[in-house]
Structure 1
Amino acid sequence: MPKPDAGATRRILLVEDHPVERAYLQNMLLALGYRRVAGLGSSTEAISALARQFYDVVVSDIVMGEGDGTRLPNELRRLVDVGRLKSMPPIIWISSLSDELLQSHVRLALQAGCPSAQALSKPVSRSAMQHAIKVALHSVDDVTSPRQQSVRREVIEAELSRALITGEGLSLVLQPQISLSSGRVVAAEALSRWDHPQLGAIAAADFVPAAHRLGMDRMLFTRVTDRVLEILRRMHDDDIAVPIAINASASTLCSRDLPELLEQRVGQAGLPARLVKIELTEDEPVTDWLALSSALNLLRVRGFELAMDDFGAGIASMRLFSAMPFTELKIDRDFIVHMHREPASRAVVAAAIEMGRVLGRRVVAEGVEQERDVQLLRELGCEIAQGYGVSMPLEPGAFIEFCRQH
């Protein structure tokens, strides 16, 4: 039982379209000591409420007559990205759906950025609700408050502009991609790192979206590209020819002059274009399909390799892969992590591998963390893997030495 004063300060948003069940759950939460419980009948109403008022926890049904609960995580992410919501609240799903679907919605909320997500089967018992609320509040109490998060976000944005202009504190690590048949390094992905003198290490999950909000995606891409070319030049001098992938958003790739400028930079470095791989991320929607298609085709004509990141995670994955000239697809790590115990995830992995085989495109499994992942991927016919199970990200010098040994 929470302390009365603690319950009195916590705001809980309950989203349930059935009025009787909503009243039952509201009374349950009140009996548990939570005094600020708002009950609404649809996710549409919930999204509007969250844009006006911060709530510590959201308790939501999934299947509702109007404003399906499945919309909630992505809509909340959108509110955060546009600055109308300070931070993502934890979500507790309540539903009569199967356990498989409940866990799928848990992953959906976590992928969107909720600090925690849980699922309770209806009818919900008082003890189950009490435990779920406790876990949810613990997840937000373990991190900074919404106000502190807002201040940190503003500081990150202000400091990122300076870092991108000066390059101070920015660095790269390289995550090897390994052939599962030979054990050799076949490529690598460049991962940005930012170590701030006062804030410390800032995760890419924080500063890459900040660059997008500031309209500085292109500047970040240029910084990474320059550093990758330096590393490739050093490797070229040592007779090591391993391509390195550079992440780029759709908006960055839609810049009309990007293919030509990239070709010039690679040429000035005395490197073949095939050593530079452009990896399209799905962290923002494609708004101009024609511009993106033109840019990708120009890059391919100029000899650059093209990879599609997080295949299967975004709704545009299939359309992108079938319509654009990619040479490689990377299976989203979430399917790799769950393929051992979820038939659906394993089926997605197998289908992606077969699609790559039929179309003659490389397939890379991301998020490979255990030996059993490697074994199953071999059985499914996947040739290339990356993740901590094959190699952690390496500093450039360590990566070059790793290539010499593999």
Structure 2
Amino acid sequence: MSCQYTHEAIVKLKNSPLTLTPPPRVNLVVLSHDEQYVLRMTERLNGSGLFHIEHVESLSRLRLRKQPMDIVMAEIHADHVDSLMLPCWVGELNAYGRVRRAPHIVWTIKACALDDATSSAAAIEQGRTDIVKGISSIALASYARLARASGIRVEIVAENHPTQLLQVLEKLATAEHLLPQLSQSDRFELLISEDEVVSVITSGENLRVVLQPQYNLASRQVIGAEALIRWQHPIHGDIPPLILIPMVDQLGLGLLLFSHVERAVIEVLGTLDRLGIDIPIAINASARTLCATGLATRLAIKMHKAGLPARRLKIELTEQITPGNELVLSASIMALRAKGFLISLGDFGAGAATLALLTHIPFDEMKVDGKLAGIAEQSPQSSEIISGIVNLARYFNLNLVTAGIEDPSSIEMLNRLGCSAGQGLALAPPLEQADFLRLVAR
């Protein structure tokens, strides 16, 4: 009976018209307000039959699209800023999970800088051309590398080389897409409530202070430390400071947290004093915390009771909150320095830290943002920036500390550029207090 059924099925299939399902076409969106550019791209790609091509005039309209997109193509041009903003938009889609999959990006250029169109895109990637449609090729290549490092697929193609353009697009048609995902920060923000933050800061329960050693980069001797807060949540584990600190500042709990860290640091400084070790420990504080009434006097009294000189407690101005009144901040910092405390300007090169702060407010130290340390070896421009910061620190007679050193190979280079002090995972991770004391005691 099964044989009869199979025979009947075969006969039925032979008598039916044979239809083959065509492969799904790739959704390609051309982003441009130049109708001639859209027409050229459409004519060159229609023949392949692989793409379903649509046209959008601006990034704002692209943001409103609900249909899926596989590839977005745009011309690199100084008058077409939307094309340069595409990686930012794709990163935003990925971060907030607004699409099932983030589209690839293709930037097209006219190969006018070089005679050989095939090598033009490669020349831009390597920064070997000067200007591309009013945009620095070095800056464009750096921007493309940064986008790729964050997981966004970006390709630069010579427009007037149709074969190369089609090859790149066909390759992207089968390439994997960046899938939307919530970052660790986004997940924690959904899990942690404000009530929990208020409770843990007021009680101090499950909070602990760890210490990240700071080293002389030449001798590898410990010359100080930075105190960092850690919150061990009973359900979610360690909560990153990038989540906790902004919530603390938003809830106005910065001074309370500072007091908790301050008590732990003074205890550690007392132990170091009994061991005969004279190194400072830094505590992070927002501008709002530094401007708290009576802070300098209160800290001086506590250090005096502990039998410690004020200079062993360093206060690092962080950049989470900018002060509403720079005059008040300047007065508060001067009061702290008058009591003998050291003041550091943290994360220089990021946030609101500017030359104006250095010129208007007296500091003892400047800390270079960790991102600059991370890219110092990637390009000559990065090294020149760090050298400039070193000279700036010398001009203002400031101690300079490089934060975020994660690559051991960059330690010697930073020291050669004049950054004599630093901290980071390449030197030592943040240590529990007992481990830190054992380290410096050795």
Q: What TM-score does the superposition give when structure 2 sets the normalisation length?
A: 0.69
Q: Decide whether aligned partners of structure 1 residues 404 and 149 sit closer, same or farther in structure 2, where only a CA change above 3 A counts.
A: closer
Residue deviations 1:316-359 (CA, integer Å, cap 9, x gap): 42222232211111122222222223111100111111222233
Q: Answer whether contact 1:61 1:93 (CA < 8 A) is retained.
A: no
Q: What does the per-residue CA deviation read over 1:276-299, in whole Å, with 9 as the maximum and x for residues that have no partner?
A: 111112233443221221221111
- Contact kept, 8 Å, 1:17 with 1:65, in 2: the verdict is no
Deviation at 1:240, TM superposition (A): 1.9
CA contact (8 A) 1:187 1:243 kept: yes
Secondary structure in structure 1 of the residue aligned to 2:311: helix
8 Å contact kept, 1:332–1:365: yes
2:422 to 360, 377, 385: 385
**Per-residue CA shift, 1:349-380, capped at 9, x if unaligned?**
11111222233211112222334312212322
Structure 2 equivalent of residue 41 of structure 1: 58
Q: Which residue of 1 aligns with 2:139?
A: 101
1:307 aligns with 2:324: no
Whichever residue aligns with residue 207 of structure 1, its letter is L
Deviates more, 1:85-94 or 1:228-237: 85-94
Structure 2 residue identity aligned to 1:289: E
Mapped partners of 1:61, 1:212: distance in 2: 43
Q: Is structure 2 residue 240 aligned with structure 1 residue 223?
A: no
| Paired position in structure 1 for 2:222 | 185
- Residues 96-105 or 59-68, more deviating: 59-68
CA distance in 2, matches of 1:236, 1:211: 32
Taking only the aligned residue pairs, the percentage that are identical comes to 30
Check the 8 A contact 2:227/2:281 in 1, yes or no: yes
Contact 1:86 1:149 in 2 (8 A): no
1:153 to 189, 195, 200: 189
For the 8 Å contact 1:243–1:275, the answer to whether it is kept is yes
One-letter amino acid of the counterpart of residue 364, structure 2: T
Whole-Å separation in 2 of the counterparts to 1:88 and 1:328? 43
Cα distance in 1, alignment partners of residues 140 and 223 from structure 2: 38
Structure 2 equivalent of residue 279 of structure 1: 316
Which structure 2 segments of 5+ residues have no match? 1-22, 108-131, 160-164
Of residues 92-101 and 324-333 in structure 1, the stretch that sits farther from structure 2 once superposed is 92-101
Q: Deviations over 1:170-193 (max 9, x none)?
A: 112211111123332111111221
Query: Which residue, out of 171, 178, 190, partners 1:137?
Result: 178
Contact 1:254 / 1:295 at 8 angstroms: preserved in 2?
Answer: yes
C-alpha spacing 1:136/1:310, structure 2 compared with 1 (3 Å): farther
Q: Tell me, in whole angstroms, the C-alpha distance in 2 between the residues paired with 1:396 and 1:165.
A: 22
Give per-residue Cα distances to partners, 1:174-226, cap 9 Å, x unaligned: 11111123332111111221111101111111211222232322222222222
d(CA) in 2 for partners of 1:361, 1:137: 44
The alignment partner of 1:348 has SS state of helix
Contact 1:178 1:186 in 2 (8 A): yes
Give the aligned partner of residue 296 of structure 2.
Answer: 259
TM-score using structure 1 length: 0.74
Shift of 1:394: 1.1
Task: Map 1:1-400 to 2 at 5 A.
Answer: 18=34, 39=56, 41=58, 45=60, 65=79, 97-98=135-136, 100-102=138-140, 104-105=142-143, 116-117=151-152, 119-121=154-156, 131=172, 137-138=178-179, 140-141=180-181, 143=182, 152-158=188-194, 159-314=196-351, 316-400=353-437
Cα distance between partner residues in 2 of 1:242 and 1:366: 18
How far did residue 116 of structure 1 move?
4.6
Q: Aligned equivalents of 2:314 and 2:290: distance in 1?
A: 13
* Contact 2:207/2:229, CA 8 A, preserved across alignment: yes
Query: What is the letter of the counterpart of residue 157 of structure 1?
Result: S
Aligned counterparts of 1:201 and 1:132: Cα–Cα separation in 2: 41
Amino acid at match of 1:231: V
Can you give the 5+ residue segments of structure 1 that lack an aligned partner in the other structure?
80-84
Letter in 2 for 1:200: G
Instruction: Give the corresponding residue for 1:82.
Output: none
Distance in 2, matches of 1:136 and 1:39, equals: 21
Write the distance in 2 (CA, Å) between the matches of 1:149 and 1:329: 28
| Displacement after TM superposition at 1:163 (Å) | 1.2
- Give, as a single letter, the amino acid of the residue that structure 1 aligns with 2:332: A
